């Protein structure tokens, strides 16, 4: 079995669990040191400059260091589903996705596997991987862990979930989410610089900050946009999302048992315009649909 010095006393994210994942101990992310994947396939539901015509080569990692109560991928976030793969196999999967025509390699929920991912990227680049690497994260990241990816990740696709720390505590059991995520975003933007597109409009380099607006949290969403505009100006892209989907498991959270209304979303988008945010993706039409959640059936592993 592959072992990793960072996993002996795992503190690679802000949960600081201190467990020995090499020996199968589980921390908050609920997965050992072995990489566990749920799916690796072309995915068409990201921002247009990520998905393009052919799709984004999306690799879904099992386990998660956030565990948001409303997660759409909860079956893999709990780490109970997936297939163990070696780092060598992970690098082969990247190359297979490139061969299938993927515009990029899109690592979804990768934070708890950074050392393994780093090795896999290096190996696949040595074997001919040329498409951009996208790191798709909740932003509950340590800056020193992100530094391990410098020069290897081309595009960061971070969420910014909460301004009010109490929301982070309630929905994701995080402490100081806002402070931690903001420092992580600064590091991501430092690494990628300003967005660079190819002639077809595909993103080659840069950071797109996503915010999923939750029902009942419109004020929090506005605070987030103000904070991010003040911090980054127009040097990043924003993606303002309305696709929150209520789920059966949310009975304990009555405020989350409805979708965001069209009026609420329009108000948030107008607010972004008022703030002077010019580079933003918005969602149109009915996006609150389970068809956006791919089947976690082990495809591509
Ligand atoms: S990566 Fe997992 S085990 Fe390590 S500190 Fe984060 S949540 Fe804990």
| 300 has a pLDDT exceeding 80 | yes
| Average pLDDT value for residue range 171-188 | 97
The residue whose two tokens read 């993706």 is 281
| 241 has a pLDDT exceeding 60 | yes
- 258-281 pLDDT, tens digit each: 999 999 999 999 999 999 998 999
Q: What is the pLDDT of residue 75?
A: 66
Pick from 162, 161, 244, 163: nearest CA to 210: 161
Q: Whose CA is nearest to atom 6 of ligand 1?
A: 13
* Residue 134 and residue 104 in contact, taking contact as beta carbons nearer than 8 Å: yes
Kindly state the DSSP code that residue 19 receives in the 8-state scheme: B
Higher pLDDT, 301 or 222: 222
Q: Whose CA is nearest to atom 1 of ligand 1?
A: 112
Q: Which atom of ligand 1 is nearest to 63's Cα?
A: 2
Residue 17 annotated as part of some ligand binding site: no
Q: What is the pLDDT of residue 42?
A: 95
Q: Which residues line ligand 1 (CB under 6 A)?
A: 10-13, 15-17, 19, 27-29, 65, 112
Give the Cα separation of 227 and 219 in Å (integer). Answer: 12
At 290, the pLDDT band (50, 70, 90 cuts) reads: very low
Higher pLDDT, 51 or 291: 51
Q: How far is the CA of 16 from the centre of ligand 1 (A)?
A: 6
| Average pLDDT value for residue range 141-167 | 97
Q: Which atom of ligand 1 is nearest to 27's Cα?
A: 3
pTM of the model: 0.94
Q: Whose CA is nearest to atom 2 of ligand 1?
A: 29
Task: Report domain 39-292's class.
Answer: alpha beta
Q: What is the pLDDT of residue 291?
A: 44
Residue 114 tokens read as 């950074």
| 292 has a pLDDT exceeding 60 | no
Give the Cα separation of 97 and 39 in Å (integer). Answer: 12
Q: How far is the CA of 20 from the centre of ligand 1 (A)?
A: 10
Residue 244 tokens read as 């929150």
Mean pLDDT in the chain? 92
Higher pLDDT, 8 or 293: 8
Q: What is the pLDDT of residue 77?
A: 62
At 115, the pLDDT band (50, 70, 90 cuts) reads: very high
Alpha helices in 78-128 (DSSP H): 87-99, 114-126
* Residue 178 and residue 162 in contact, taking contact as beta carbons nearer than 8 Å: yes
170 CA to centre of own chain:
20
Higher pLDDT, 246 or 183: 183
The domains of the chain are located at 39-292
């Amino acid at each position: 079995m592959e072992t990793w010095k960072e996993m002996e006393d795992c503190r690679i994210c802000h949960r600081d669990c201190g467990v020995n994942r090499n020996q199968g101990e589980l921390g908050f992310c609920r997965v050992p040191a072995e990489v566990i994947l749920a799916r690796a396939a072309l995915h068409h539901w990201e921002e247009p400059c990520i998905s393009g015509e052919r799709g984004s080569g999306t690799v879904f990692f099992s386990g998660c260091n956030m565990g948001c109560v409303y997660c759409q991928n909860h079956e893999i976030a709990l780490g109970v589903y997936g297939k163990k793969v070696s780092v060598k196999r992970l690098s082969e999967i990247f190359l297979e996705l490139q061969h299938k025509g993927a515009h990029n390699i899109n690592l979804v929920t990768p934070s708890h596997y950074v050392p393994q991912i780093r090795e896999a990227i290096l190996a696949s680049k040595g074997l001919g991987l040329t498409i951009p690497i996208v790191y798709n994260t909740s932003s509950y990241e340590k800056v020193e862990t992100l530094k391990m990816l410098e020069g290897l990740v081309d595009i960061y696709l971070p969420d910014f979930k909460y301004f009010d720390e109490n929301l982070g505590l309630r929905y994701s059991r995080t402490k100081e989410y806002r402070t931690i995520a903001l420092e992580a975003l600064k590091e991501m933007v430092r690494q990628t610089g300003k967005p660079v597109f190819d002639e077809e409009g595909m993103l080659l380099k840069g950071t797109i900050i996503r915010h999923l607006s939750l029902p009942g949290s419109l004020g929090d969403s506005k605070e987030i946009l103000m904070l991010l505009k003040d911090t980054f100006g127009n040097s990043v892209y924003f993606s303002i999302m309305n696709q929150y989907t209520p789920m059966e498991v949310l009975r304990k959270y009555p405020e989350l048992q409805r979708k965001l209304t069209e009026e609420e979303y329009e108000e948030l988008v107008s607010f972004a315009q008022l703030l002077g945010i010019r580079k933003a993706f918005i969602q149109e039409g009915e996006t609150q649909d389970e068809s956006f959640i791919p089947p976690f059936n082990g495809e591509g592993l």
